[in-house]
Structure 1
Amino acid sequence: MSISVTTWYLEQTSHADLRPAQQPPAGQGVGIVRSEVPSPEFSRFLYTAVGGDVTWTDRLTWPYVRWAEYLGRPGVETWVAYERGTPAGFVELAADQDGSVEITYFGLVPAFRGRRIGGHLLTYGIERAWDLAERWPGQAPTKRVWLHTCSKDGVHAMTNYRRRGFRLYETTVTEEAEVPAPGPWPGAGPID
């Protein structure tokens, strides 16, 4: 059986486009740290923990070597949000030499959604996309930050992107085989 999937492509073409979200309450203990040492194990953990319930499957078949090569590329960064020491979500950036930075992945572990972390993490990730060249000698200054999201992603994804100042520039619709969400394990998600 196939399903129709709409994919939206969004961009910011100026740092002034960013509309920051409010930070989570100080007592919540939320901090964001760059994962500076490329770690395929940690990145795959984040990928499955965040994307398991929204059918992120494209990297599940990547062998260790491919993860390591990708994460070791200049201009690829992973920023991780923690709540009191526990990974709550991440944003992954990938720069091109033309000054374009893609937010390749962004999201929260299901148990951390709805706690005012997502907008804050996205704001932080966009800021890091705009100043990425400062951390990578030889990298062109950022001229554009872009991402894509689709109808399989979380229900609040598009709203968060638009609130942060992203503008829609392209929409596609494709038919895809229906694949059950893999989850980090069957039945993973918040405990009710």
Structure 2
Amino acid sequence: MSSVTLDLNGYTDLPDEKVALVVTFLEMTAPPVAPLAGERQDVTLERWVAPDAVDYKRLFREIGEDWLWCGRLMLGDDRLKTVLAAPGNEIYTPVINGRQMGLLEIDYADPENPELAYFGLVPSAVGTGLGRWLMQQAMAMVWSRPQTKRFWLHTCTSDSPQAIGFYCSCGFKPYKRAIEVMDDPRATGLLGKDKGPHVPYLASPNQA
């Protein structure tokens, strides 16, 4: 089944190997007035220039596989290197005691409307305040550029249920919703069938 008619006032059945996500787009048109977080002496923000594809995918999985992050995992290593090295794409990682604790990726392809392309922490860093610190670094970089008119991002229902609340608390405001239907990455073998339990995996006999 390559397409279905979406019922905007009811249910639309999907094949078991597909997942449907509600995507929320958020934006801010001016920097926050107050700081999001205090100074931290235990963490440094390091620019990750031309990351090795294997190393990038390892960190990407650690951060996002429980939330069904899969976009970058679908790319072959050569294609991923090209995407990561695209003009305007900047990648940073917060480092504590020599260990990468998260991912911050900003896309400046449209200089007036930079996008927070990827933002996340490894599981052990969640709830430590590192997220607000990392977002403060992102906003400082974005709003230091005179071209910036709007900073935006999108998140979805397969992400952490805390994501929208976190982004709103940082000053972003929702402005649009969309529905995304994609192959379930667990059905394709890209992610383990135990990942993303908040989006139940509907195993068919030839996929279990």
1:77 counterpart SS class: strand
1:156 to 158, 162, 165: 162
Instruction: Name stretches of at least 5 consecutive residues in structure 2 with no aligned partner.
Output: 1-15, 196-208
| Structure 2 letter corresponding to 1:5 | L
Deviation at 1:21, TM superposition (A): 2.1
1:115 paired residue number: 128
Q: Compute the TM-score of the two structures, normalised by the length of structure 2.
A: 0.74
Whether 1:142 aligns to 2:148 is yes
Cα RMSD (Å) of the superposition?
2.6
Q: Give, in whole Å, the separation in 2 of the partners of 1:35 and 1:61.
A: 21
Checking the alignment, whether the CA contact within 8 Å between 2:50 and 2:81 is kept in structure 1 is no
Q: Compute the TM-score of the two structures, normalised by the length of structure 1.
A: 0.79
**Correspondence list, 1:59-74, <5 A:** 59-74=72-87
| Structure 2 letter corresponding to 1:147 | L
1:11 counterpart SS class: strand
Q: Give, in whole Å, the separation in 2 of the partners of 1:18 and 1:172.
A: 30
Deviation at 1:45, TM superposition (A): 2.2
Q: Which has the higher strand share?
A: 1
Structure with the greater alpha carbon radius of gyration: 2
1:168 to 157, 174, 178: 174
Q: Structure 1 residues 70 and 175, CA, compared in 2 at 3 Å: closer, same or farther?
A: closer
Identity value in percent: 27
**Correspondence list, 1:20-169, <5 A:** 20-23=35-38, 26=41, 29-131=42-144, 133=145, 141-169=147-175
Checking the alignment, whether the CA contact within 8 Å between 2:102 and 2:120 is kept in structure 1 is yes
2:114 counterpart SS class: strand
Checking the alignment, whether the CA contact within 8 Å between 1:39 and 1:71 is kept in structure 2 is no
Q: Structure 1 residues 72 and 151, CA, compared in 2 at 3 Å: closer, same or farther?
A: same
Instruction: Name stretches of at least 5 consecutive residues in structure 1 with no aligned partner.
Output: 134-139, 188-192
Checking the alignment, whether the CA contact within 8 Å between 1:24 and 1:116 is kept in structure 2 is no
1:5 paired residue number: 21
Whether 1:14 aligns to 2:14 is no
Count of aligned positions: 176
Q: Give, in whole Å, the separation in 2 of the partners of 1:5 and 1:18.
A: 33
